[in-house]
Structure 1
């Protein structure tokens, strides 16, 4: 567990001396002197990969380069060399993307291989502690399950199946995040948030076109989407999950306006009314985010372990 303290505010209020604040700042993770070197090496590796890919633009080239970079990144990652941590993470990220992209091109849409690629991206995300790879693994899963083919101009052709799998994935990732250390908790939360976004897009497509595979009409998705947003929003408020509240509010507004214009049509009055309601939604979200319990930590905040801050620290 972490405790976030606004040291500047505590010093101003006299609840903490400057010496105590300086001591607590010392527990914060400091940047290493090798950061600049890591950044230069990362840009250099990226340039080499892009250049070789331009010279030999084939899927096999992407697989070979991706495999080499992934192997190098994993060696640096598991060797435990602190000063090369960032470079190792970049190598794993670029390597995993190149390798998965090359394999996907050769596979030509094979469902088992795409599922394996998604699982591989998830493993690479854990190895590199990369939020980008964690997000891409969820997107790959969504594309494979939903079907990456056009359906009335949309991305999904099995929205009901996609929604069910993503709902289970979101719940599983959230429960898992409660039991993970901070670095891996972050990855689980990122993946869960991407799953929430994709799940809502599944509802959006379903509310427009329905699901022919299960003979579900658009109305069924519209009603289910509204209920899910309401229940999720109330839970997020009680659990103090600001991102989920904002996501529910945004997709709730999208859902409302889809039904609003579908019912009233694009007339001047409906557009003006919709604009006024949108402004109201915006102010409501702003008011909610400015509530004391929902304020993010300021620039003067330091996050330290609870064992250091003691039980009386401000969360």
Structure 2
């Protein structure tokens, strides 16, 4: 566990003496020097890899280098985490991303390719106990059911091609990971919690898109056309189900003292409300004024909730 303290202030207030101050400061100096050395070596490794890629431009070369870096990062993290922890993390992240990109390129972004990426990231995350890789693994799984984000011409896009499948899949994964976290040791419980939280976001994204467009169920993953006559599950069904799910889950989270979940669900509740609000009433000076007042009210309510419940679980 990492704790941030101001040792100068503690010394001035007399809460620690000079000897304790010097001792704590020496620890910080050692950590800073080790961090700088780790980062310097990491930059050297990355530069060497980029040079090798430039000399041997090939997806197979990138895959081999990525797997080698990932293996090296895992080895460092499991055997020399205290001295070379930062180097191991950087090696693993760079290697995993390099290998993942190569796999997706070699498989042309197929479902099988994303499943391989999911497995690769999940294994790396478990072996090194890194939540970032578990989050990437969860996002890779979402791509197998058509979830993605895009950017083009100063515009950002969130794409959920199969809203119902996304909601069902990640509802099951999220709850499963949550209950599994309570049966795992402290070293691994946070990994399951990361998967659960990422799944919560994906479930709400699925509801969000479904509440706007509905779901045709049979639309193929490679089809970009939209035809309202093909809609099987209407948008109002997703809107209603989303509202019920948000309210029910928020009540459960409040009773379980899960502050992070309460805050996240409140934000998505506001997104749901404003989506339906502007879809129905449109944008005008009056609706914008009301929306602004409501947004400030929600922010104040959340702030008071967090301040009056400081011991809630995150």
Give the counterpart of 1:272 among 289, 293, 296. 289
Say which SS state the counterpart of residue 155 (structure 1) adopts: strand
Q: State the alpha-carbon separation in 2 of the partners of residues 226 and 296 from structure 1.
A: 24
Q: Is it true that 1:263 corresponds to 2:280 in the alignment? A: yes
Hey, what does 1:49 align to over in structure 2? 49
Hey, what does 1:114 align to over in structure 2? 114
Q: State the alpha-carbon separation in 2 of the partners of residues 238 and 102 from structure 1.
A: 45
Say which SS state the counterpart of residue 216 (structure 2) adopts: coil
Larger RCO of the pair (alpha carbons < 8 Å, separation 6+): 1
Q: Shift of residue 95 of structure 1?
A: 0.9
Q: Shift of residue 53 of structure 1?
A: 3.5
Unaligned runs of 5+ in 2: 151-156, 219-231
Q: State the alpha-carbon separation in 2 of the partners of residues 54 and 245 from structure 1.
A: 48
Say which SS state the counterpart of residue 310 (structure 2) adopts: helix
- 1:119-162 per-residue CA deviation (whole Å, 9 max, x = no partner) reads 21111111222222111111110011235599xx7511111011
Hey, what does 2:168 align to over in structure 1? 164
- 1:250-297 per-residue CA deviation (whole Å, 9 max, x = no partner) reads 110010011111221212211111111111111111111111434799
> Which aligned pairs between 1:33-112 and structure 2 lie closer than 5 A?
34-80=34-80, 82-112=82-112
Hey, what does 2:210 align to over in structure 1? 206
Q: Is it true that 1:241 corresponds to 2:258 in the alignment? A: yes
Hey, what does 2:189 align to over in structure 1? 185
In the superposition, relative to structure 1, how do residues 159 and 127 fare at CA in structure 2: closer, same or farther (>3 Å)? Answer: same
Q: Which runs of 4+ in 1 moved over 4 A?
A: 29-33, 54-57, 147-150, 294-297
For the aligned residue pairs, the C-alpha RMSD in angstroms reads 3.4
In the superposition, relative to structure 1, how do residues 51 and 238 fare at CA in structure 2: closer, same or farther (>3 Å)? Answer: farther
- 1:60-97 per-residue CA deviation (whole Å, 9 max, x = no partner) reads 23212201211212222343563123322221221111
TM-score by length of 1: 0.79
> Which aligned pairs between 1:10-29 and structure 2 lie closer than 5 A?
none
Any conservation in 2 of the 1:93–1:125 contact (CA below 8 Å)? Answer: no
Unaligned runs of 5+ in 1: 12-16, 298-315
- 1:36-70 per-residue CA deviation (whole Å, 9 max, x = no partner) reads 32222223223333343355443223212201211
Q: State the alpha-carbon separation in 2 of the partners of residues 232 and 176 from structure 1.
A: 18
In the superposition, relative to structure 1, how do residues 240 and 75 fare at CA in structure 2: closer, same or farther (>3 Å)? Answer: same
Say which SS state the counterpart of residue 294 (structure 2) adopts: helix
